[in-house]
Amino acid sequence: MKKIVTIVTILVFSVQLAAKEGMWIPMLLNNNIAEMQAMGCELSAEDIYSVNHSSLKDAIVSFGGFCTGEFISSKGLVLTNHHCGYGQIQKQSSMEHNFLKDGFWARSMDEELKNPGLFVEQLVYMEDVTNALVNSGDKFKEIEAALIEAKELDNPNLTYKVVPFFGNNQFFLLATIKYNDVRLVGAPPSSIGKFGADTDNWVFPRHTGDFSLFRVYDENGNAFTPAQHLKVNIAPRTPGEFTMVFGYPGRTQEYLTAVEMDQLVNVENARRVEIRDVLLSIMDSEMRADAEVQLKYSSKYARIANGWKKWIGQIEGVQFSKGLDRKRKLEAEFTARIAADANLWDKYSGLLNEIAVNNTQIAEGQLKRNEFIETIYYGMEWFSLMSQLQRAKSDVDMDVALVEFHQNYSRTVSEKTTAAMLSMALATFPDLLGDMDEATFVSTVHNEIDALVELATKDDSIELTAVAPTASNFNTSAFQAFYTVSPDNALLQKATELSAEYMRALMEVFPERNFYPDANSTLRVTYGKLEGVNPRDAVSYGTTTYLDGAMAKYKPGDYEFDMPAKLIELYDNKDYGQYAENGKLPVCNIASNHTTGGNSGSPVLNARGELIGLNFDRIWEGTMSDVNFDPNICRNIMVDSRYVLFIIDKFAGQQWLIEEMELITH
């Protein structure tokens, strides 16, 4: 009787989670659609993903391979986050035309700016090829290549790849198409698109207009016509209404054991936070003191700070939600179930212990490996440049790399960050400098970088080891040290195999659960509700923030909380056009959708599949959702579609873009 009660408890727990937790494969939504419809969804599984006719999936793109975007017009107009387009906006900027600071708006298609190297990629279809590949052993690569070759012969216009799911227990072949002409159409100033900057990053209440607009062109230079684009809903929202996020989440690790999660969160990530504390402090000080440095380093700073703040929230979130206790309870139930079944016991009785032992054997090397990555590879900005130069095939490649590097480089900043990171790195790698002292090394390396840049600007031939011997030797020595301390490949391979076995075991031992695969940068659907949260004692977040709240944060001239005069004027006059709700202008919302990195720029859709928001963040208390999703705490943050259109229309005066879209007012 006791065992039956336990199983029923798990069943109820699974149903509660399934309403919100999970990043589901769109091809397999028939397993979820009944629950989605019970929550209010008005679509069928075929409406969301179809290979026979256009469906919502045809409106979704992978933006640059690192974010998500969506078509919002029949003329290839793509909406994504400001922080997803940030690097391109920065590249298009100069001190004379600072599009990060002032924003950019093309007044016609002729004024849209090309972005070499930027692409969007669409999923055309996916196909389960597990039976052909599972247990194929040494023939895996051969069979995989044959599957792809057959597809290429059938349709050479698509790109094909095989992707593992469920820890290499299931395999899908993905057919995609890429578009390489993606032009910048519009972006608000950073005082809107990045309002709140690092102080507000990962937190709620939020008031950030985190969006930018691009347009996709076909190979003939014409605006691309997608098979489907999203309608934009500007009607009032209802707390509790169904929401769905469609996008390309990057990576999650939801099926770690308690031992693995403890090591990752409380040891490895805690150390990463310590290192980035130092690095970010230096960068922040220099950026606040010099406007040119701020322009050059804003993207670098944002990238480094993003992970730093996420890890802090993850550490606190796992502790607050008792994430390790939840893992241990699951493992206790796992052990009880296999103990009651002789067949399962024979297969899995030693599995958790094997994982723990292997994790211990890997731990020290993994920490040292991370030390290299954080202090040297990321911490010394010139280091990755040297790696790029050593791989360059010609002087032209070197020149391009050096000129691009120098555009966003300050010797003063680099010397200070290098000195601080070097001091940390030497504690783990004491022999890196040989007999040279730290101060001499820092000065010498930067003299060499200056010499390389000068040669590149003159188009002179570059003999790397002759011009930059100290930097070159350090690069080689550091990588040698990295490979020496990194965990043994056999142990890493064993960890992969044990993870795959644990995933198989969970699905076999808990057959009543509807498992979803970890995120792996493939197209996924997650669903939940527009709902607030009480994340901790005496703290409550409603579903929506308004422009009134942004004005309350306003600090004239502040790096993070300044506001454009035009926006203040619109607020003072309450000139919100058709985008207000009860006399107030909505800015951001939260919902219970399960998201992660890569979901940035993903559309948040209502029950009819209409765009109501643009996903861009998670709340601070829920950043642990990559390893420990708790439906009682975890919430995604979106910029309200009404605020996006208000900025385009009333603030920027770009009615021609509004006219391209299909607006829904009910």
- Tell me the catalytic residues: 83, 210, 600
Q: Is 146 helix (H, G, I), strand (E, B) or coil?
A: helix
Cα separations in angstroms, 153 against 126, 150, 159, 543, 582: 17, 5, 11, 50, 58
Q: What is the CB-side half-sphere exposure of residue 195 using CA atoms within 13 A?
A: 30
Residue 290 Cα to chain centre, angstroms? 29
Asked whether the beta carbons of 140 and 133 are under 8 A apart, the reply is yes
Closest CA to 84 of 106, 56, 62, 99: 62
Asked whether the beta carbons of 595 and 245 are under 8 A apart, the reply is yes
**Angle at Cα 390 formed by Cα 388 and Cα 394, nearest 5°?**
90
Closest CA to 309 of 635, 629, 619, 587: 619
Closest CA to 568 of 547, 589, 582, 545: 547
- How far is 457 from 402, CA to CA, in rounded Å? 9
* 337: its two tokens: 């179930």
Cα separations in angstroms, 68 against 6, 71, 170, 208: 40, 11, 24, 18
Q: What is the CB-side half-sphere exposure of residue 180 using CA atoms within 13 A?
A: 4
- How far is 228 from 46, CA to CA, in rounded Å? 14
Closest CA to 524 of 123, 169, 161: 123
- How far is 666 from 238, CA to CA, in rounded Å? 12
- How far is 210 from 187, CA to CA, in rounded Å? 9
* 108: its two tokens: 């016609």
| Beta strand residue intervals within 188-339, DSSP E | 212-217, 232-233, 242-247
| Beta strand residue intervals within 166-272, DSSP E | 170-179, 181-187, 212-217, 232-233, 242-247
Radius of gyration of the chain (CA): 26
Q: Is 457 helix (H, G, I), strand (E, B) or coil?
A: helix
Burial 518-544 (b: 16+ CB within 10 A, else e): bbbebbbbbbbbbbbbebeeeeebebb
